[in-house]
């Protein structure tokens, strides 16, 4: 995991360690961890044996912090951890630090066991606790507990998930469970989330293989790429706003084409969309060269007379390929830039899709030598 300079600096100030890109350690009797997310977030977490009776009191105190700090996305309890996540923008680190110390001040008001008490079994760890990063369907928690307790939690969560797959939760039960966990959520939003989950798990009958839909999106994006470039007055690889828009939306169009076929999600979808995005940029940049060569040949009357349309097209394509080969460096730069821009828009969706394992995965954090 990547960890920026700001969190590393804060780790040094608090006397914490960095293990596998996660700040973790004991600070003022609390087991504290911090990390950065791929989607542009900063998170801190406190692992402790929280009493069930304290949840309501603490929730009331923490709700005030959500209004106080604009960059705070949420602060909530998840599996014996208190987790606060911030959107990472300029000025976030100051709010992150202030919120962290505010949370510790609130916790100091209650009788919460110190870090050496395992949050799972409630027994002392005598300094033998281990740090584990647990991830399930995009959500992460960092737990400080006995190794066997953390392993038992992982097995139990996965067992419950397996049971849930065989016996799907009804809509009414889903709304009830979410409302109990997050009372602030509206019924309308919970119903919307249920429909999205249901549509994902039961996509219905597949119309076509996903790669065909993605290929259609690839061809459409390449055509738009060429047309908007020629409408612009920019250079060989146009700098115009229209072209930039298509470069941004190309990956999204391809993703939409795949999804319209109702094919399966997962690593197959992720791989197909990436390949088609690279192909669309390649075809688009090559198409620009071919069309510009064709326009130049017609303008200067260099097209031989009496040849068929097929031969004429072959001549244009050959001239376009030759112009690309003469300027390979520029072609590769354009390919890299436009591919990166296209994938940037959908990178989080692709990451979650490629990592779509509906099981809890636990990684024991180790200090790198």
- Give the CATH number of the domain where residue 79 resides: 3.30.1460.10
CA distance 80 to 119: 6
In a domain, 361, yes or no: no
Is the same domain home to 318 and 264?
Answer: yes
pLDDT value of position 259 = 84
* Strand blocks (E) in 251-364: 361-364
Rounded to two decimals, what is the model's pTM? 0.57
In a domain, 359, yes or no: no
Is the same domain home to 115 and 230?
Answer: no
Q: Which range of residues forms the domain containing residue 182?
A: 169-202
Is the same domain home to 37 and 89?
Answer: yes
Is the same domain home to 190 and 292?
Answer: no
Positions in the chain short of pLDDT 50: 233-240, 369
Is the same domain home to 178 and 43?
Answer: no
Is the same domain home to 150 and 248?
Answer: no
CB neighbours of residue 199 within 10 Å? 11
Token digits of residue 345: 């828009």
Q: Which of 183, 202, 221 is the last residue of a domain?
A: 202
**Residue 140 belongs to what H/E stretch?**
strand 139-145
Any idea what the Cα angle at residue 251 is, between residues 249 and 254, rounded to 5°?
110
pLDDT value of position 246 = 64
Instruction: Provide the number of structural domains found in the chain.
Output: 3
In a domain, 362, yes or no: no
pLDDT value of position 203 = 53
Any idea what the Cα angle at residue 143 is, between residues 98 and 348, rounded to 5°?
75
In a domain, 366, yes or no: no
In a domain, 363, yes or no: no
Is the same domain home to 113 and 73?
Answer: yes
Is the same domain home to 175 and 321?
Answer: no
In a domain, 242, yes or no: yes
Q: Which residues pair with 364 in a beta bridge?
A: 132
pLDDT value of position 96 = 93
Is the same domain home to 13 and 162?
Answer: yes
Is the same domain home to 145 and 180?
Answer: no
């Amino acid at each position: 995991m990547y960890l920026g300079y700001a969190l590393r600096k804060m780790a040094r100030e608090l006397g914490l360690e960095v293990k596998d890109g996660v700040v973790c350690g004991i600070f003022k009797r609390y087991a504290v961890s911090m990390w950065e997310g791929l989607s542009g977030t900063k998170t801190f977490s406190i692992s402790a044996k929280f009493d069930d009776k304290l949840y309501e009191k603490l929730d009331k105190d923490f709700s005030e912090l959500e209004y106080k700090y604009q960059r705070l996305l949420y602060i909530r309890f998840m599996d014996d951890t208190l987790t606060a996540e911030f959107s990472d923008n300029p000025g976030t680190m100051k709010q992150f630090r202030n919120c962290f110390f505010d949370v510790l001040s609130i916790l100091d008001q209650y009788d919460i066991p110190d870090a050496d008490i395992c949050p799972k079994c409630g027994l002392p760890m005598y300094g033998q606790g281990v740090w584990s990063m647990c991830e399930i369907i995009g959500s992460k928690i960092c737990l400080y507990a006995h190794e066997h307790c953390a392993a038992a939690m992982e097995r139990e969560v996965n067992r419950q998930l397996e049971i849930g797959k065989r016996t799907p939760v009804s809509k009414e039960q889903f709304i009830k469970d979410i409302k109990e966990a997050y009372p602030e959520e509206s019924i309308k939003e919970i119903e919307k989330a249920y429909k999205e989950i249901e549509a994902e798990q039961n996509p219905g009958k597949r119309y076509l293989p996903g790669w065909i839909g993605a290929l259609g999106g690839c061809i459409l994006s390449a055509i738009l790429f060429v047309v908007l470039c020629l409408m612009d007055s920019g250079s060989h690889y146009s700098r115009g706003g229209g072209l930039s828009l298509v470069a941004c939306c190309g990956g999204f169009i391809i993703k939409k084409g795949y999804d319209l076929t109702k094919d399966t999600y997962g690593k197959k979808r992720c791989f197909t969309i990436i390949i088609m995005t690279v192909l669309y940029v390649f075809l688009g940049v090559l198409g620009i060269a071919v069309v510009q060569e064709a326009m130049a040949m017609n303008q200067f009357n260099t097209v031989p007379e009496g040849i068929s349309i097929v031969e004429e097209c072959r001549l244009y394509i050959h001239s376009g390929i030759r112009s690309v080969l003469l300027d390979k460096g520029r072609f590769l730069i354009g390919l890299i830039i436009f591919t990166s821009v296209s994938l940037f828009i959908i990178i989080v969706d692709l990451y979650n899709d490629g990592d779509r394992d509906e099981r809890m995965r636990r990684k024991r954090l180790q200090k790198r030598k």
